[in-house]
């Protein structure tokens, strides 16, 4: 033909050989050729998809997935052991990781009936260098080298994209958990997650530390790196393709979002991916019950969970490492040295605190903050002694204010964080000493020179009101009122608006209570002669019982303020005097009379002072408030009936994994621009949207008008 003979090592030939039915030995030079496919290697999306299907068919015989994973692990080990690795070698490693990720992901998400078969063990006739593999399995070797590279190799312009692809490879490898049911079972298959749990403690601590330091430092994409031709050329639909991204509309590998023109695109991909990996690792639970026999190897979104009695989970070393993390004083230049100093995770708590405060609009940051406060007592103590609590609290309160844009789970996490913090008396006192000049995002009322504590009270009552009218979630409501109860004895100069909202909350609950109480009395009489109404009567009685408890708890909150903090809260006294009539119907009620009695003791004291200064004509608001303020100084608590001071604490339920594992993966899939075959997901219902969860909330949405009725 007049041209030089073509080489057999074309992209089509290499990929075709990899997915074919001929098993190639580990020692073949084919693997090096395959893993060094260039960035500009192009394959049509359909061809990549067909190649993935062929590998799924032939992998049982060829074990090519295990072999390419073995060579990838060797590639990474060599790059870590060689100093001064040239950028070109890192680019080859990126190619290898991306290529492997495409096929690994397809094998996982194409599993039948939730049972994944990756065939990670090699055939007996495959000679494996003992110096490399030793007694390890392929999956342990891969996870050890991937996580070791992430933890030990410095981030630089040359290594940035390799770090990013390794983080996303780790997410792909751990995505076998999506095939499992919502409750961990003994027959769940998560080889790479289990391998990660089996790594030594020093590496585990280094990984946790590095992932958090990545999150704190938030390294940006090195756009000046011209040697990486992976960016858009300005056309919204064009992208330089390689094997890892040629199937972008099928697998959406990480580079597709680095330069997304959408505001929803990730601005800090290394930070985001690091947090995703960390959240999956720390919330993984491996079932380890002895004597449990698997009757049926079936996993589905509605499958029964394991019997609660007699079950236990193996320890999660990543969770333990996070729980025992301690503070250190480091600046950003010293980050990397900290990652392998010893087996204890040491973190710059001050920078972590600031980073969380900056990122709490993101649901994954909320979950990280919850995990730290709930599990790490040292970090919790650090947060509680900070004098700038508004750094964390203002974004939390703003997120709750704008709850229509939040998921129900995010609202739960935010409220639990407030409950955990409110367990400390110094926190409750401190938030009332921090004065906010203004709250620009609060639209219903101009809040000037209001305390942070007053704003907390306003927002919590706002959530209670919405919950009563829309969600009707007892747990959410109880969490709000428990936080208010913890705060009540320490309230200091509660603002006029917050005081009014507190009394109005009682009024709203009392109206709901009365509506339930009257029909119940009628149905109680009718039920004796009409069996059809018995079930409805039982339902109404249960709801009435709930509202009785809520109403009593609000009265206890008001009592705690009056008993322990009245001299410091004239506005609360004024609000009660202004709405005195709302308490009257409950004065002789057997469930509420003792709590109402204290309120009327206060009312009688201040009304008598008002009578002693009776003026011609009416009283102005300022005149009444002035009398109240003056007489607060002479108030004595002697006449009050003392109740045990309420104190609520947060405790995780006995099996938190049933909530957190699906929740973490929903967040990962919604944030990382990583599509997964929805029909293969058993961890949560497949019809639940996994994209852009922060733009909507299940069920009803919040509207500003919902909050204007109190």
Same domain assignment for residues 129 and 98:
yes
Same domain assignment for residues 322 and 352:
no
Same domain assignment for residues 405 and 280:
no
Q: What is the pLDDT of residue 612?
A: 80
Please tell me the distance from the alpha carbon of residue 110 to that of residue 117, in angstroms, as a whole number.
10
Residue 91 lies in a domain: yes
183, 306 contact by CB (below 8 A):
yes
CA distances from 678 to 111, 228, 372, 510, 622 (A): 12, 32, 31, 46, 62
Residue 429 lies in a domain: yes
The overall longest dimension of the chain from CA atoms, in Å, is: 117
330, 338 contact by CB (below 8 A):
yes
Instruction: Give the contacts of 505 (CB within 8 A, at least 6 positions apart).
Output: 461, 464, 465, 554, 710
428-483 pLDDT per residue, tens: 999 999 999 999 999 999 999 999 999 999 999 999 988 777 667 888 889 999 99
7 or 579, greater pLDDT: 579
Q: What is the pLDDT of residue 427?
A: 96
Residue 430 lies in a domain: yes
243-286 pLDDT per residue, tens: 333 333 223 333 333 333 333 444 689 999 999 999 999 999 88
Mind giving me the DSSP string for 607-619?
HHHHHHT--SSPP
Instruction: Give the contacts of 140 (CB within 8 A, at least 6 positions apart).
Output: 195, 198, 199
Question: Beta strand 435-438 with 448-451: parallel, antiparallel or unpaired?
Answer: antiparallel
Residue 298 lies in a domain: no
Please tell me the distance from the alpha carbon of residue 690 to that of residue 674, in angstroms, as a whole number.
10
Same domain assignment for residues 502 and 370:
yes
Q: What is the pLDDT of residue 705?
A: 33
Please tell me the distance from the alpha carbon of residue 382 to that of residue 370, in angstroms, as a whole number.
14
Residue 285 lies in a domain: yes
Q: What is the pLDDT of residue 265?
A: 40
Same domain assignment for residues 471 and 600:
yes
Q: What is the pLDDT of residue 169?
A: 96
**Residue 197 — pLDDT band, cuts 50, 70, 90?**
very high
Same domain assignment for residues 456 and 374:
yes
Q: What is the pLDDT of residue 288?
A: 64
Same domain assignment for residues 317 and 448:
no
> What's the whole-number mean pLDDT along residues 559-566?
94
Same domain assignment for residues 618 and 471:
yes
Beta bridge partners of 451: 435
Residue linked to tokens 């009416």: 618
pLDDT at 219 over 50: yes
281, 665 contact by CB (below 8 A):
no
pLDDT at 649 over 70: yes
424 or 640, greater pLDDT: 424
Residue 563 lies in a domain: yes
Q: Six-digit token pair at 144?
A: 């050890």
Same domain assignment for residues 272 and 371:
no
Same domain assignment for residues 24 and 75:
yes
State which of 8-17, 336-345, 544-553 shows the largest mean pLDDT. Answer: 544-553
Q: What is the pLDDT of residue 80?
A: 84
pLDDT at 97 over 70: yes
- Please report the sign of the dihedral spanned by the C-alpha atoms of residue 682, residue 683, residue 686, residue 691: negative
pLDDT at 691 over 80: no
Q: What is the pLDDT of residue 551?
A: 92
* Number of structural domains the chain divides into: 2
State which of 488-502, 671-685, 687-701 shows the largest mean pLDDT. Answer: 488-502
**Structural domain boundaries, residue 613:** 348-522+538-634
324-382 pLDDT per residue, tens: 999 987 544 344 444 444 467 899 999 999 999 999 999 999 999 999 999 999 999 99
Same domain assignment for residues 488 and 365:
yes
For 185, the 3-state DSSP assignment is: coil
pLDDT at 514 over 60: yes
Same domain assignment for residues 387 and 444:
yes
Q: Six-digit token pair at 141?
A: 């070797």
> What's the whole-number mean pLDDT along residues 99-119?
88
Q: What is the pLDDT of residue 616?
A: 61
Residue linked to tokens 């080859």: 92
pLDDT at 421 over 60: yes
Which segment of 230-234, 277-281, 387-391 scores lowest on mean pLDDT? 230-234
- Indicate the average pLDDT of the chain: 80
Q: What is the pLDDT of residue 375?
A: 92
The residue from 327, 357, 373 where one domain ends is 327
Residue 389 lies in a domain: yes
293-304 pLDDT per residue, tens: 322 323 333 334
CA torsion angle 519 521 527 532 (round to 10): 20
Quick one: how far is CA 331 from the chain centroid?
27
Q: What is the pLDDT of residue 539?
A: 64
Residue 399 lies in a domain: yes
The residue from 590, 612, 634 where one domain ends is 634
H or E segment and range at residue 63 = none
683, 665 contact by CB (below 8 A):
yes
Quick one: how far is CA 248 from the chain centroid?
27
Global pTM value: 0.85
Q: What is the pLDDT of residue 256?
A: 35
């Amino acid at each position: 033909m007049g041209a030089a003979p073509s080489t057999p090592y074309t992209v089509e030939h290499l990929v075709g050989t990899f997915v074919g039915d001929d098993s190639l030995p580990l020692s073949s030079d084919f693997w090096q050729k395959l893993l060094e496919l260039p960035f500009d290697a192009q394959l049509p999306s359909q061809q990549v998809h067909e190649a993935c299907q062929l590998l799924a068919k032939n992998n049982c015989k060829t074990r090519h997935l295990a072999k390419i994973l073995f060579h990838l692990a060797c590639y990474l080990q060599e790059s870590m052991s060689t100093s001064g690795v040239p950028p070109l070698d890192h680019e080859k490693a990126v190619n290898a990781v991306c290529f492997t990720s495409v096929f690994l992901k397809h094998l996982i998400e194409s599993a039948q009936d939730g049972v994944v078969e990756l065939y990670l063990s090699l055939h007996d006739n495959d000679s494996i260098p003992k110096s490399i593999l030793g007694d390890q399995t392929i999956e342990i070797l891969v996870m050890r080298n991937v996580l070791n590279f992430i933890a030990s190799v410095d981030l630089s312009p040359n290594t940035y994209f390799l770090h990013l692809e390794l983080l996303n490879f780790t997410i792909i490898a751990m995505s076998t958990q999506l095939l499992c049911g919502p409750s961990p079972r003994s027959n769940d298959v998560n080889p790479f997650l289990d391998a990660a749990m089996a790594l030594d403690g020093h590496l585990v601590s280094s990984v946790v530390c590095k992932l958090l330091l990545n999150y704190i430092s938030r390294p940006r994409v090195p756009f000046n790196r011209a040697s990486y031709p992976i960016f858009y050329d300005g056309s919204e639909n064009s992208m330089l393709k390689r094997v890892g991204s040629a199937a972008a509309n099928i697998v959406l590998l990480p580079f597709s979002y680095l330069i997304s023109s959408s505001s929803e695109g990730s601005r800090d991909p290394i930070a985001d991916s690091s947090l995703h990996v960390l959240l999956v690792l720390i919330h993984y639970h491996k079932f380890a019950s002895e004597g449990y026999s698997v009757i049926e190897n079936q996993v589905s979104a509605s499958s029964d969970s394991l019997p609660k009695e007699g079950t236990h989970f193996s320890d999660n070393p990543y969770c333990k490492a996070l729980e025992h993390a301690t503070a250190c004083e480091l600046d950003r230049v010293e980050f990397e040295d900290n990652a392998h100093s010893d087996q204890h995770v040491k973190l710059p708590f001050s920078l972590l605190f600031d980073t969380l405060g900056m990122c709490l609009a993101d649901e994954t940051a909320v979950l990280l903050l919850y995990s730290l406060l709930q599990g790490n007592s040292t970090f919790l103590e650090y947060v509680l002694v900070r004098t700038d609590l508004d750094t964390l609290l203002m974004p939390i309160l703003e997120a709750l204010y704008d709850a229509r844009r939040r998921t129900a789970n995010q609202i739960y996490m935010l409220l639990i964080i407030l409950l955990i913090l409110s367990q400390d008396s110094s926190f409750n006192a401190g938030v009332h000493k921090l004065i906010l000049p203004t709250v620009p995002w609060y639209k219903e009322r101009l809040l000037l020179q209001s305390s942070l504590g007053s704003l907390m009270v306003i927002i919590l009552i706002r959530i209670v009101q919405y919950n009563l009218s829309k969600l009707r979630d007892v747990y959410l409501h109880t969490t709000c009122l428990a936080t208010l109860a913890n705060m009540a004895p320490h309230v200091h100069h509660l603002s006029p608006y917050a005081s009014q909202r507190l009394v109005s909350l009682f009024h709203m609950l009392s109206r709901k209570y009365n509506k339930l109480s009257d029909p119940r009395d009628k149905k109680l009489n009718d039920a004796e002669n009409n069996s059809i109404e018995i079930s409805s009567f039982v339902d109404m009685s249960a709801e009435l019982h709930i509202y009785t408890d809520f109403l009593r708890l609000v009265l206890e909150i008001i009592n705690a303020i009056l008993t322990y903090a009245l001299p410091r809260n004239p506005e609360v006294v004024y609000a009660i005097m202004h709405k005195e009539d709302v308490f009257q119907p409950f004065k002789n009620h057997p469930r509420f009379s003792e709590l109402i009695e204290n309120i009327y003791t206060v009312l009688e004291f201040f009304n008598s002072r008002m009578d002693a200064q009776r003026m011609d004509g009416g009283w102005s608001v300022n005149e009444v408030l002035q009398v109240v303020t003056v007489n607060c100084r002479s108030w004595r608590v002697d006449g009050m009936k003392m109740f045990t001071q309420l104190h609520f604490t947060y405790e995780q339920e006995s099996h938190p994994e049933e909530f957190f594992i699906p929740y973490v993966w929903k967040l990962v899939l919604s944030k990382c621009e990583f599509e997964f075959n929805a029909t293969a997901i058993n961890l949560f219902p497949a019809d639940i949207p996994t994209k852009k969860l922060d733009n909507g909330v299940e069920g009803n949405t919040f509207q500003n008008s919902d909050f204007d009725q109190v």
